[in-house]
Structure 1
Amino acid sequence: MDIDLILSNFLNPPILFFFLGMLAVFLHSDLEIPQPIAKFLSLYLLLAIGFKGGVSLYQSGINYQVAVTIALAMLMASVVPLYSFFILRWRLGVADAAAIAATYGSISAVTFITATSLLTKLDIDYGGHLVAAMALMESPAIIIGVLFYRLFRTDDQGKDKSEFSWSELLRDAFFNGSVLLLIGSLAIGAMTGESGKQALQPFTGDLFKGLLAFFLLDMGLVAARRLRDLRKAGIFLVSFGILVPLLNAALGLGVAYWAGLPLGDAFLFVVLCASASYIAVPAAVRLAIPEANPSLYVPMSLAITFPFNIIVGLPLYLQAINHLWR
């Protein structure tokens, strides 16, 4: 792997703040980000990346490649939980396998945002429609995970079918706060274009990287605290949390190459395929698969896959794309 690319990612200030958060936990520091501030930062990042993506979409317009990219993203979000479920069934029950499969079929908005920060640092262009793809990849994985849970659980587990509300699940899958804010911000950015971009400066522009660093500081704190939960996961799930994202990235890379995506778009597409949700899916899974153990699927995505992608995955995926595209 190109050492310059590794250093470029590693020495990116937001990444260093992520490490600082983890270090604070390891040193038993009392450093803490108040929950309301952490929530604000999460909402801000979704709004900012959605709005910036909408402005980019306004500038580039909607064309065949945009439609193909979004369709392929949704296809990957549907395929990944299919094979993930059957891999997980080797060791886990139906509920846990379905929940984790949904988690890995969905995406991490923060990983995506960090990837866009890396592209910006390297002066690599990317399309705003990838933000729309990101938002639309949340729901298929949730729905497929729940479908598998309901198809494969035993009759004894299925006694509560009448208590389950598909309308509530679909509303949560398609209109949960993160998806709605992303799509809404994307639409506003696409409608207002350059004038909207100027109107929201520096809120969605110059302040973005600083607030991303602050958010990743909090994520470092949270991820390090979740590491202790991994004792319940065992070596199989720890390995799954690293190897399956690599498999997903390889599949995404092949799809992006076949579709002829530009370098920046291909990188973000691969990052989306390789990431795992720790916000939208856990919220939906708590509702739809109550038997699933959150001490498995949350630490796997947050304490294994997220740090792996941030530290190792991003430069690895970009290096592979650079090799194939240039």
Structure 2
Amino acid sequence: MPFDVVVAFFILGVVAKLMRAELTFPKGLSQTLTLFLMIAIGLKGGVALADHAHTTLITQALAVIAFGVVLPFIAFPILTYFGQLSKVDAASIAAHYGSVSVGTYAVAVAVLDSQSIAYEAYFPLFVVLLELPAIAVGVFLAKGASLGSERGKLLHEIFCSQGIVLMLGGLIIGWMWGEQTQQIMPFFKELFHGILALFLLDMGLVAASRLSFLKSTGSFIATFGVIMPLIGSLLGGLLGNLLDLSVGGITLLAVLGASASYIAVPAALRVALPKANMSLSITASLAVTFPFNVLVGIPIYISYGHWLAILG
């Protein structure tokens, strides 16, 4: 089969939307699927963290945070110089591409599991860490160091966003309660792929619905939505190799570098950058980058991970 079975559900969603089929997800269900994936990823990472915590992990975590800081600085000049976007819009999009997509990460994990490719089990920690620095850099690029009265609101949106609360909370619960989490793991582990399939079906519908807006924004957003993931994955894979990660670990760091946020960052930037055109950011991340990564990028990143591992 050319695609993993869960990816097939994304294609189904896109096709259904393009055919104008009467298929919609209740808002509450869409939210529930997202919450489930965040908690499941955090829990599994926390349990693994309890078993694999070591001093090297601190170095890796700091390197991942630095990676999250660098990515927006790469995206920003591309957006302003080649895309001729305003400073605020460019900073907003750069922040989205410096952060991560939980959905893309979940798909990558499912594909690696299906191919029996090992990866560091504590990787959800890196997912959480990469949610934070890009937002701060995006605001800095747009406004400089001054936030004034908005600082408190921004910090609240960052640290109290559902992605951070649920993934970090799940990580802490899995880490502190360890073996006791086995009582609930049949729900979060056994149902993971089924929930992911439903999530991707919904994402297919959403991505296809954004295609009409993509036509009105010109070719630059579409081009950037492909080029930037390739740049991020290239750097992420090199960093993973430098950190001596496994083939799966190199692949996942490439995936995180290639993905773009559509949950945590939009919520935070609505407060910090109210004048930014969020439609540009969401369209780029959901209508271009997410489909590209799910359908084309992840297989490329897996091959890239194997290649880097061979080179040593």
Q: TM-score range by the shorter chain?
A: over 0.9
Alignment of 1:242-321 (within 5 A): 242-321=226-305
Q: Distance in 1 between matches of 2:96 and 2:308?
A: 29
What does the per-residue CA deviation read over 1:179-203, in whole Å, with 9 as the maximum and x for residues that have no partner? 111001011111222331x201321
Q: Matched residues in 2 for 1:301 and 1:204: separation? A: 27
Please state how far the C-alpha of 1:239 moved relative to its aligned partner.
0.8
**What is the CA–CA distance in structure 1 between the aligned matches of 2:31 and 2:297, rounded to whole Å?**
26
- From 132, 146, 150, the counterpart of 2:143: 150
Cα distance, 1:47 vs structure 2: 0.4
Distance in 2 (alpha carbons) for counterparts of 1:242 and 1:93: 20
1:110 equivalent in structure 2 = 103
Name the SS for the 2:207 alignment partner.
helix
Structure 2 unpaired stretches of 5+: none
**Contact 2:210–2:287 at 8 Å: present in 1 too?**
yes
> Is 1:186 aligned to residue 171 of structure 2?
yes
AA aligned to 1:278 is Y
Q: Secondary structure in 1 aligned to 2:77?
A: helix
| TM-fit CA distance, 1:244 | 1.1
What is the letter of the counterpart of residue 119 of structure 2? Y
Provide closer, same or farther for how the CA distance between residues 179 and 110 of structure 1 changes in structure 2, counting only shifts above 3 A: same
| Count of aligned pairs | 308
Deviation at 1:256, TM superposition (A): 1.4
RMSD of Structure 2 on Structure 1 (CA):
1.5
Residue 88 (1) aligns with residue 79 (2): yes
Question: For the residues of structure 2 that align with 1:132 and 1:265, how far apart are their CA atoms?
Answer: 12
How far 1:23 sits from its partner (Å)? Answer: 0.6
Q: Distance in 1 between matches of 2:32 and 2:132?
A: 23
> Could you report, residue by residue, the CA deviation over 1:110-158 in whole angstroms, capped at 9, with x for unpaired residues?
1001111111111122223210111111111011101111139xxxxx9
Residue 83 of structure 1, CA deviation: 1.9
The C-alpha deviation readout for 1:250-301, integer Å capped at 9, x for no partner, is 1111111122111111111111111000111111111111111122110100
Partner of 1:76: 67
Amino acid at match of 2:25: I
2:125 to 132, 144, 151: 132
CA contact 2:150–2:271 (8 Å) conserved in 1: no
After TM superposition, give the deviation of residue 216 of structure 1 in Å. 0.7
Q: Distance in 1 between matches of 2:69 and 2:56?
A: 20
Alignment partners' CA distance in 2, 1:269 and 1:320: 11
Task: Report the counterpart of residue 35 of structure 1 in structure 2.
Answer: 27
Instruction: Report how far residue 43 of structure 1 moved.
Output: 0.2
The answer (yes or no) to whether the contact 2:251–2:304 under 8 Å persists in 1 is no
Q: What is the rounded CA distance, in whole Å, between the counterparts of 1:33 and 1:52 in structure 2?
A: 27
- Per-residue deviation, 1:232: 3.0
Which one-letter code corresponds to 2:96 in the other structure? T
2:56 corresponds to 1:56: no
Percent identity over paired residues: 40
The alpha-carbon deviation at position 89 of structure 1 amounts to 1.1
Deviations 1:76-121 (A, max 9, x none): 1100101211111111101100100101000001100111111111
TM-score (norm 2): 0.95
